[in-house]
Amino acid sequence: MIHRLPEFVSPISPDAADVVLVVGASRGIGYAMVEALLSKPEVLLGSPNHKPLIVLAACRHPQRAEALQALQRQHPQQLALLTLDMANAEAFATLTQQLKSLTPTLRAVVNTAGLLHEPATDSQPALRPEKALSQIRVDAVMRSFSVNAWAPILLAQAVLPLISRQHAFCFASLSARVGSIGDNQLGGWYSYRAAKTAQNQFLKTWSIELARTHPLATVLVLHPGTTDTDLSKPFSAHVVPEKLFTKERVAQDLLAVLRARGPESSGGFFDWANESVPW
C-alpha cells in the first residue's frame, strides 16, 4: 500500500526528478537517511543537481511511523510512504507494482533494514545473538536469514525492472563487519554473521550479472559501524563513546560513500569511512 498526501503527484517522469527508495525508513539509519536526502539532496547526487529529488520511504508499518509521517507533512511533494515487510517474501512482487505506478526508473535504492534481536511473542520465542554453538535454533536462523540475507536480494529482484540502462543507478545495502569471514576474530553470533555473509555473496554475485546489462549501475555492501540505534543498543554499553556513532552521522557518511563510489566499485564491501572491508 502506498501512503501519500494529496500534493504528491505520480507518475514521476525521470526527466522531472530523481527518485530514491529507502527501505527500513521508519527509524534508525533509514530515517536519518530520509531526513538527509530531503534536506540536502546533494549528499547523494552531488552539487549542483539540476533535478529535484523525490524519496520513497518504505517500512513495515508507515501508518504507525509518526516521525516519518511528520516528515511527509513537511515535504508533501518530495516524500511518499510505502508499506514493505522485509520478512514477507510475497511482498516484493507488490512492491514492484507500487514502484511502477510511481515512476519508471529509480536513481538509487538504499536498504537499511536488519534484524539482530527481537522480544518473545505469543507465537515465537525471543531472538538473541548466540554466544555458543549449543544456542543455535533453526527458527532463529530462519528469522535472521529472512531479513538479513534473503530480503536484500529479493529487493534487488523487485527493483530490477526500474533500473535504467542509460542512467547511473546505485543499489546499497547495509551489511556488517561481523559478516566478514576474514575479519571474524571473536566467534559467536552464528545466525547474524552467517546471514550477513550470505547477503554479501548474493549482492556480489548480482553485481557481476548486472554489470553485463547495466554498465552504469553500482551495487554496494556497506558496514555502518556501531550506531546508536535500537538494533545495537543492547550491545553498545562497552563501546567507547568515539566508536559509537549517531545515526545522523552514519547516514551522512554512508551517503558520501554512495556519492564517491561508481561502477568501478560495484560489488565492493565498504565501511562508513569508505574503506574496503575484507570478505
Let me know if residue 276 belongs to a domain. Answer: no
Whole-prediction pTM value? 0.90
Q: What percent of the chain is predicted at pLDDT more than 70?
A: 87
Let me know if residue 277 belongs to a domain. Answer: no
Residue range 231-268, pLDDT digits in tens = 555 555 555 555 657 889 999 999 999 999 999 999 99
Let me know if residue 139 belongs to a domain. Answer: yes
Would you place residue 5 in the very low, low, confident or very high pLDDT band (cuts 50, 70, 90)? Answer: very low
Residue 125's pLDDT is 82
Evaluate if residue 188 carries a pLDDT over 60.
Answer: yes
Let me know if residue 278 belongs to a domain. Answer: no
Residue range 27-74, pLDDT digits in tens = 999 999 999 999 887 777 665 566 789 999 999 999 999 999 999 999
Q: Classify residue 43 as exposed, middle or buried by CB count within 10 Å of its CB (0-12, 13-18, 19+).
A: buried
Let me know if residue 279 belongs to a domain. Answer: no
Residue 50's pLDDT is 67
Average pLDDT over residues 163-186: 95
Total domains in the chain come to 1
Evaluate if residue 163 carries a pLDDT over 70.
Answer: yes
Structural domain span for residue 251: 2-271
Q: C-alpha angle with apex 132: 131 to 134, nearest 5 degrees?
A: 135
Average pLDDT over residues 101-121: 90
Cα dihedral: 226, 57, 221, 150 (round 10): 100
CA 219 to chain centre: 12
Domain containing 229 — which CATH number? Answer: 3.40.50.720
Question: Cis link prior to 48 (omega < 30° from 0)?
Answer: yes
Give the three-class secondary structure for 173.
strand
| Spatial CA neighbour of 155 closest among 220, 97, 99, 86 | 86
- The rounded distance, in Å, linking the Cα atoms of 163 and 168 is 9
Nine cell digits for residue 68: 516519518
| Spatial CA neighbour of 255 closest among 55, 12, 73 | 55
